[in-house]
Chain A
Amino acid sequence: GAVVSQHPSWVICKSGTSVKIECRSLDFQATTMFWYRQFPKQSLMLMATSNEGSKATYEQGVEKDKFLINHASLTLSTLTVTSAHPEDSSFYICSAGPTGAGANVLTFGAGSRLTVL
Chain B
Amino acid sequence: QKEVEQDPGPLSVPEGAIVSLNCTYSNSAFQYFMWYRQYSRKGPELLMYTYSSGNKEDGRFTAQVDKSSKYISLFIRDSQPSDSATYLCAMSGYNKLIFGAGTRLAVHP
Chain A residues in the interface with B (C-beta under 8 A)? 6, 34, 41-44, 46, 49, 91, 93, 95, 102-111, 113
Interface residues of chain A: helix, strand, loop or mixed (majority) = loop
List the 4 closest pairs (A to B, CB-CB), nearest first.
Answer: A108-B43, A111-B43, A104-B32, A103-B97
Of the four ranges (under 10, 10 to 19, 20 to 34, 35 or more), the interface on chain B belongs to: 20 to 34
Smallest beta-carbon distance A48→chain B, Å: 12
Taking a contact as CB atoms closer than 8 A, the residue among A6, A43, A113 that contacts B100 in the complex is A43
Q: Are A105 and B49 in contact (CB under 8 A)?
A: yes
Given contacts A102-B92, A106-B97, contact A44 B44 (CB under 8 A): yes
Report Cα–Cα, A42/B86, bound state, in Å. Answer: 10
Determine how close the nearest CB of chain B comes to the CB of A9; give it in whole angstroms.
9
Interface centre among B34, B46, B97, B100 (most CB of A within 10 A): B97
